[in-house]
Amino acid sequence: MTRLFNDPAAFADEALEGFTAAHRRWVRPVTGGVVRATATPAGQVAVVIGGGSGHYPAFSGLVGRGLAHGAAVGNVFASPSARQIHSVATAAHVGGGVLLMYGNYAGDVLHFGQAAERLAADGIETRTFAVADDISSAGPEESAKRRGIAGDLPVFKAAAAAAEQGLPLEEVLRVAERAGARTRSFGIAFSGCTLPGADHPLFTVPEARMAVGLGIHGEPGIGEEALPTADEAARLLVETLLKELPEDVADPAGQRAAVILNGLGSVKYEELFVVYRRVAALLGDAGVEIVDPEVGELVTSFDMAGISLTLTWLDDRLEELWRAPADTPAYRKGALDGAEPDLDRAPVTAAAQDTAVPAAPVVPAASDASRRAAGTVLAALDAVARVVDAHADELGRIDAVAGDGDHGIGMRRGSTAAHRAAADAHGLGAGAGTVLTRAADAWADKAGGTSGALWGTILRSLGTALGDREAPDAARVAEGVTEASAAVRRLGGAEVGDKTMVDVLVPFADALAAATGEGLPLADAWDRAATTATAAAAGTADLLPRRGRARPHAEKSLGTPDAGAHSLALITRAVHGALLDHH
């Protein structure tokens, strides 16, 4: 468990602050993460990596010459927000474009994709690449759905080394694609991890058993087996990975591979070496030439007791990039000429980097009617924050059945930040639309993860529909909810039946539109739609998840509602109470 912390909500920020204070030779802080402290040659492609906290040395520890130019750092097990990623990438960019790289998790895909759009709008050429190396999370025929675990490192390094050689953006991306296609990982765990402030781990493993095929966000394994000896664990890892070779590798014999035996947090280095001695022997027996192996903690999961094995099958070009020197706080290889920190570059603030966040506390002009409506919006957001806070532990327990258990934490962070931003905007005389859009940005920024991106989209869609000029009537609110439903489906790709919040959002939007179409006042129409939402959320207990982190553990989630669907239903009912109070 995590024993040393202050406020659990501030843990990730305080850890990053301490990290940068300890490693000023390599990194400097910027809003949203860190960038290299040393100068980067003008015109070089900037490789910007990122993900949630709790995985050190990924991601901040991999910033430095020969590896990443910057890292966007989200909250514990939550992807950084689009704003954070945009901030870090802007600070790291030196004219050659940006390659955003991250593990293949829904929240990361959403936020990095949105950041890429913002960077492109700024005139910065940007590409994205998601590492998908975990063979336990999807079969070969669905390899694009696999999540990223310790395979992040060799893929990040290949791309970054190519960038150091001065290759243009498209060629750096092709290197990343080549390395990703040739990287496979598989892991096992003996106990789950416990988040700061939590009193129990995200999952448990029975005595004398191990979980097989785990994720790095505290997700349980896809199965359980008897606790092995070190040699038996090595054999399971090696044999599992040798069963799935890249398409252009017919036989492991005669092949070269970069090998990473990764500790996930609580397995000691001596234990890793005991396992690696057998890993090396088994790969040697299979005819595999091991190139520059790494044994240690490279991508962790807080204090999870577990290990993973990664193989990147090398060709001449990938071997050159894997062997290339690197100098970062947590990963060093070979020798580079000394470089002093670039003291001329002052830390860059979000206000200077992100035009989506105003540099001064001003709001657009609004009508009196819209400002009055903004009071109702603020009351609704207050109700949202209160109901989320009251149910945060329950939401976390539901999410932990087949996911990583952080839904309640993320929703609490997001809803609290949204209410605070809305209150600030309302105090400045903002209209309903601006209050909602400020709340949307704050929710997405502070929550991160999939829920942060989706709730940011929901509030922004509502804000756009309401605007700042007219008094929003029931029809306009329903129109905004309908657009929010469509926008969430476009952004996340989920549809009804996938066991996500969409299973509640779509019927809620449809019911609200139908009720307002009949001429019902907003409070009455919302009441009817909230009842529909509650029933729809309960119905997700009978569904198997087809998207997101819960998908590999589909059977475990039967009988339990989707956490995102349940939280949405709770919110719709809480908002109804606020509408009644401000009728």
Active site amino acids: 217
> Quick check: bond before 8 cis, omega within 30?
no
Task: Note the residue count of the chain.
Answer: 583
- Per the CB < 8 A criterion, the answer to whether 47 and 163 are in contact is yes
With tokens 């029931």, the residue in question is: 474
The first and second tokens of residue 414, run together, are 């997001």
Contacts 24+ apart (CB under 8 A), 470-474: 470/367, 470/369, 470/370, 471/367, 471/369, 471/370, 471/372, 471/373, 472/370, 472/373, 472/432, 473/522, 474/516, 474/520, 474/521, 474/522, 474/525
Q: In whole angstroms, what is the distance from residue 291 CA to residue 313 CA? A: 10
The first and second tokens of residue 15, run together, are 């850890």
Q: If DSSP codes are grouped into helix, strand and coil, which group holds residue 185?
A: strand
Q: In whole angstroms, what is the distance from residue 54 CA to residue 11 CA? A: 10
Strand order in the sheet with 183-191: 223-226, 209-212, 183-191, 305-314, 256-263, 289-296
| Residues contacting 328, CB < 8 A, separation 6+ | 26, 57, 61, 62, 63, 64, 65, 66, 67, 68
Q: How far is CA 59 from the centre of its chain?
A: 12
How does DSSP assign 63-125, residue by residue?
A: BSBTSBSEEEEEEETSPPPHHHHHHHHHHH--SS-EEEEEES-HHHHHHHHHHHHHHHHTT--
Q: In whole angstroms, what is the distance from residue 529 CA to residue 203 CA? A: 35
Mind spelling out the 3-state secondary structure of 192-261?
Answer: CCCCCCCCCCCCCCCCCEEEECCCCCCCCCCEEEECCCHHHHHHHHHHHHHCCCCCCCCCCCCCEEEEEE
Q: Which of 332, 323, 311, 49 is nearest to 165 (CA)?
A: 323
The first and second tokens of residue 210, run together, are 């191990």
Q: In whole angstroms, what is the distance from residue 261 CA to residue 273 CA? A: 9
Q: Which of 315, 336, 350, 257 is nearest to 67 (CA)?
A: 336
Q: Specify burial of residue 518 (Cβ count, 10 A radius: 0-12, 13-18, 19+).
A: exposed
Mind spelling out the 3-state secondary structure of 331-393?
Answer: CEECCCCCCCECCCCCCCCHHHHCCCCCCCCCCCCCCHHHHHHHHHHHHHHHHHHHHHHHHHH
